[in-house]
Amino acid sequence: MSARSQRGDDAVPESQQAADQVLDCTGLQCPLPVIKTAQAIKTLSTGQVLELLATDPGVDPDMRAWTGRTGNDLLDIRKDGEVFHVLIRRAK
């Protein structure tokens, strides 16, 4: 956490954080986005953020279940057109 966000002024909402890595899984169907996310999150350091891009509508419930099971932090899921943007912070 930066000194700015620790003070609370000008803090960036978690849903607007810049990702440390982007994983493009557009066009892939379950279970590939989950498998690739599990592999990609292991390359990040604790506290870093992964942005997953996916078109599979199952990515919303899948990522909620996966982050709950793995203990990683689901920061945001939003849909922009046909693409889901999922922000996940590596927790451990």
Tokens, residue 83? 């693409």
> Left, alpha or beta for 71 (phi > 0: left; psi -120 to 50: alpha)?
left
Give the catalytic positions in this structure.
30
d(CA 9, CA 3): 10
d(CA 56, CA 34): 11
